[in-house]
Amino acid sequence: MADGQPKLGPVRIFAPRRSALAVLAAGAIASTAVGTRNLLSGQALKAREVIPKSWDIPPRADGVYAPGGGPVQRWQRDVPVDIHLMVFGDSTATGYGSTDAAETPGARLSRELAELSGRRIRLSTKAIVGATSKGLSGQVDAMFVAGPPPDAAVIMIGANDVTLLNGIPQSARRLGDAVKRLRASGAVVVVGTCPDFGIITAIPQPLRWVARSRGLRLARAQARAVRAAGGVPVPLADLLTPEFRKAPTELFSADGYHPSGAGYALATQQLLPALSHALGETSDTLPWLSKAAESRSLATRLRMLARIWPRRTTGVPAPLVIPAG
């Protein structure tokens, strides 16, 4: 540089980081949004036509279950019981899809709990076919009207919240409120969270993927709400999906949507450890808790990585520094 000429500093040229491909992709997404929504709406209408309507009355299994098996005794005020178990929720809680009262979740839990504890178990079912989380408050109200609260409660809810597009945070909050009321009454509470819609092959894609995504999000929100309210969440989607994928014919009922008797037996195997643990009948660690802790640890590590990972652009052009000379 010649003497006497002004010294130039760095020249700052602003260039956008977003590529032309990103711009084109954004435009494509916007242009297809309406078409995608129409496709999903059409598939939902078709699915509602195909999905069987749950008009049939599910088997009634209420009564008193004694150790050693034998017939279920009708409960009356003079009939002695040791543990009162009450079941809340939707059609899966009622055992819809099973062909015999002995196959319902309530019956299986009562029978297994009686054998495990050596006590007499009274089963009462408040669950209603087609119920959503909005109906849980009414089911708990009915419990208080009918008599003293139970010693233990099992809730299975969530599928209808997904199909009816109820808000995920609101649905989880309503479940948490029900658990809180039951815990305040002195009952231990176990909740089977929302199942996995991805295993219902009668629902076409991409609707099945959308329903599965919402269902898994709801299950996670349910688990947080249940734990915060003092209950025990059981991740049915995680625990049951592999088995249902292997043997759908055996584990689904004739309608292709609700579990069969064998499917409910599998679900009961997941709920029973949590129920017996909550009642103090067993001290074993619940099998899925270590996996949940591992997942939380992984999530923590990912959050830490996100803090040190290069941040994505905000859309503001970044300066390119070109030395002069």
Residue 286 per-residue DSSP state: P
* Catalytic residue flag (residue 91): yes
- The answer to whether 130 touches 166, Cβ cutoff 8 Å, is no
* Catalytic residue chosen out of the listed positions 82, 117, 255, 295: 255
In the chain, the N- to C-terminal Cα span, in Å, equals: 8
HSE at residue 67, side-chain half, CA atoms within 13 A, is 10
Neighbours of 269 (CB within 10 A): 14
Dist CA 49 CA 203 (whole Å): 11
* Catalytic residue flag (residue 3): no
Residue 15: exposure state from Cβ atoms within 10 A (0-12, 13-18, ≥19): exposed
- In the sheet where 232-234 sits, what is the strand order? 63-65, 121-125, 83-89, 152-156, 188-192, 232-234
* Catalytic residue flag (residue 258): yes
* Catalytic residue chosen out of the listed positions 54, 91, 133, 171: 91
CA distances from 227 to 22, 220, 221 (A): 42, 11, 10
* Catalytic residue chosen out of the listed positions 54, 98, 258, 260: 258
b/e 168-183 (16+ beta carbons within 10 angstroms → b): beebbbbbbbbbbbbe
Element (H, E) at 230: none
Which residues lie across from 192 on neighbouring strands? 156, 234
- The answer to whether 208 touches 200, Cβ cutoff 8 Å, is yes
Which residues lie across from 63 on neighbouring strands? 123
What lies within 8 Å, CB to CB, of 216 at 6+ separation is: 194, 196, 237
Residues identified as active-site: 91, 255, 258
